[in-house]
A and B are shown apart, each in its own frame.
Chain A
C-alpha cells in the first residue's frame, strides 16, 4: 500500500480530532472504546509497516509529491518502524490502564494521548530534521497538557519546570537548525549526510557547533547527565499511565542522537566524523553512575522507576558511544526491553500506591496490602527484568551490550560501571520490595479492588520480558539488520534520493 508509511501519524491524529466531535465527545465510555480500538488498529498498521519495510526495503513517502531534498519525506526504515511499533504497544497498555479510571480526572485525556502518540510516531518516521523539530513540538505540547492532566499543586510545579526547560530546548534546537541550514543548505538528513564531506574548512567549524548544539537538545530530551534534573520529579508527578507513556519520550531523544549523529556525523563524515563521541563517553558513564546513585537514594517506588529511566538512558548512550554495529544492535534490543519494562514499573508503582493508603508508594512500613499476592508477582517479574537477572530480557540486553564492548580500549570503563550500576539497582530494588511487601504491620488494609483492565495492561507490558527472551533470536537478527542499515550509508542514502520518481 502506497500510503502505509503515513498511517501511524494519520490514524492517531484523525482519531484525536474525531473524539472532539459530537458523537464521541462528552462521553468518556465512548472515548474509551474508540481509543482502544484505534490503538489496536495502530498496532496492526505499525506491524504491517514494519514487515513491509523489513521485506521490501526502506519505504519512502514523499509528501505532496515534492521530491526530497526540498520537499518533506517520511522514511520508514527498520529502525524507525521498530520504534513506531514499540510506541503503539506501550500506548495501548498505558491507555488500557488509563481506561480504568485515571482518564476521568480531567477533560480530553484520550485526544491528548492520541496527539502525543502522533507526535512520537512522527518524530520517528520523519526524514527531515526540521520536521523532527515540528513533531517534537507536537509531542511536547501534548505532553505538557497530559502532565498537568488532573491538576494539583505537585503537577503544576513539575509542569512549570518541564515546560520552561523544553521551551529553552526548542529555542536551542532552532538555533542549531539555523546553523546547519546555513552551512549545509539542506535539512534532509540523508542529503546532509551526502554533503557533510563537501563542506569548506570555515563551514566545518560552524557545522560542528550546530551538531553539538543538537546533542544538547537531544540530551535534554533523553535526560543525559547535566540535563537530567527535570526527569525524576516530572515522572513522579505525572499520573501513572502518562508516566508509562513518557517512558518512550526519553527514547525519542536517544533515537534522534542515533539517527542524526550516526547518519550525518557518523564515521564517514570526513573532518566532522564522530564529533560527539569525545563528549558522549564521559557523559554516558556519569549519567549511568548518577542514575544508579539516584536509584539507591529514592524514597519511593515512582522515583526509583524514574531514576531507572536515567540508568537505562546511560546504558543506551554507552552503547551509542561505542559506534559499532554490534553495539547499536544491542542498544536497539535494550530500547525495546527498557521502554516496556519501565513503563510497567510506573503502572505497578501506581497499583501499590493505591493499595497502601496514606503510605502510598513510599518506603515506609504500612499495613499489609489486600491484593499483595498479585501485585507482588508482577513486581517480582518487573524487578528481576529491570535489574537484569536471568531468565528475563534485561539480562540478555545487558549481555549483548557487554559483548559489544569487547576488544575496545574503553572496555575497562564500560564493564565495571555497567555491572556496578546493575548491582546498585539490585540492592535498591530488593530493598524496595522487602519494604513494600514484607515490612507490614497489623491487619491488611481496606479492600481496594484492582480493576481487571489495570492488571491486563501490566501483564501486557510484562509479557514483553519473557517474549523478548524466547524470540531473542529473530529479534536480535532484526536489530542487527536495523543497525546495519543505520551504519551503512549506501543502504539508506540511495533509498532516499530517488532517480526519477519512485
Chain B
C-alpha cells in the first residue's frame, strides 16, 4: 500500500511541476491543482498509513493520528480558495494582455510560430 501511495504522490507532483513550468496560464493552473492534490495526499500520509483505525478514540482497536487530517482539511480549504483566485486572475490576464501566456507575450522563432505554438499548448 505504501509503495502505491508514494508512487501516486510522486506522479502527481511530477506532473504538477511539469505543467507549472509550461507557458500558458491554463496548463499552469492545472499544474497548481495537481500539486495541491499531491500535497494533500502527502500531508495525509504524514500521520502514517493504517488500515481499520478510526481517528476517534474508542471507535476501533487502533486509532490513527487525527492531526494530519485536520492539517489536510485546512490545506484543502486554502488550496481551493487559491485555485479559485488564480483561475480568475488567469482570465483577467487573458483579457488584459490579449493572450494567455504567463509573460503576456509569446516569443518564438519567426518561421515556426503558429504550428509549434499549437502543438506545445
Contact surface of A with B, Cβ cutoff 8 Å: 70, 130, 134, 137, 141, 144, 148, 151-153, 156-157, 159-161, 163-164, 167-168, 170-171, 174-175, 177-179, 181-182
Contact = CB atoms under 8 A, between A and B. Distances in A.
Given A160-B102, A178-B42, 7 more contacts: A137-B82, A141-B82, A156-B97, A160-B104, A171-B32, A177-B43, A181-B46
A319 B31 CA distance: 37
Given A153-B96, A174-B43, A134 B78 contact: yes
Nearest to A164: B28
Contacts of B47: 181-182
A174 B103 contact: no
Contacts of A151: 96
Nearest to A183: B46
A168 B28 CA distance: 10
A151 to B, nearest CB: 8
Name the residue among A144, A152, A175 with the largest chain B CB count within 10 angstroms.
A175
A164 B85 contact: no
A167 B89 contact: no
A251 B92 CA distance: 30
Contact of B46 (A134, A137, A164, A182): A182
B90 interface: yes
Contacts of A163: 85-86, 89
A160 B102 CA distance: 7
A170 B96 CA distance: 26
B104 A153 contact: yes
A157 B97 contact: yes
18 contacts: A134-B78, A141-B82, A144-B85, A156-B92, A157-B104, A160-B25, A160-B104, A164-B32, A167-B35, A168-B35, A170-B78, A171-B32, A171-B35, A174-B42, A175-B42, A178-B39, A178-B68, A182-B46
Given A141-B85, A171-B39, A160 B78 contact: no
Interface string B70-97: 0100110011011001100110110011
Contacts of B68: 178, 181
B39 A164 contact: no
B46 A179 contact: yes
B78 A164 contact: no
A70 B65 CA distance: 12
Contacts of B45: 178, 182
A130 B68 CA distance: 11
A264 to B, nearest CB: 17
Contact of B75 (A152, A168, A174): A174
A160 B81 CA distance: 16
Nearest to B48: A182
Given A134-B74, A178-B46, A156 B96 contact: yes
Given A153-B104, A174-B42, A182-B46, A167 B86 contact: yes
Listed from nearest, the 9 A-B pairs whose CB atoms lie closest are A182-B46, A178-B46, A174-B39, A156-B96, A171-B35, A178-B43, A181-B46, A157-B104, A178-B42
A164 B102 contact: yes
A70 to B, nearest CB: 8
Interface of B: 16, 20, 25, 28, 32, 35-36, 38-39, 42-43, 45-48, 67-68, 71, 74-75, 78-79, 81-82, 85-86, 89-90, 92-93, 96-97, 102-104
A175 B93 CA distance: 29
Specify the main secondary structure of chain A where it touches its partner: helix
Contacts of A177: 43, 46, 71
Nearest to B44: A178
Nearest to A145: B85
Nearest to A131: B74
A168 B74 contact: no
Contacts of A167: 32, 35, 82, 86
Given A156-B96, A174-B42, A144 B89 contact: yes
A157 B97 CA distance: 8
- The listed residue with most A CB atoms (<10 A of its CB), out of B20, B45, B75, B97, is B75
A159 B89 contact: yes
A161 B96 contact: no
A152 B48 CA distance: 48
Given A134-B78, A178-B39, A178-B46, A157 B103 contact: yes
Contacts of A137: 78, 82
Nearest to A152: B96
Most buried by A among B81, B93, B97: B93
Contacts of B102: 160-161, 164
A170 B76 CA distance: 12
Which of the listed residues A70, A160, A175, A177 has the most CB atoms from chain B within 10 Å of its own CB? A160
A383 B7 CA distance: 54
A182 B9 CA distance: 15
Which of A134, A156, A171 has its CB near the most chain B CB atoms (within 10 A)? A171
Contacts of A148: 89, 92
B86 A181 contact: no
A171 B96 CA distance: 28
Contacts of A70: 67
B99 to A, nearest CB: 11
A156 B38 CA distance: 28
Contacts of B35: 167-168, 171
A217 to B, nearest CB: 12
A192 to B, nearest CB: 14
B107 to A, nearest CB: 14
Nearest to B40: A174
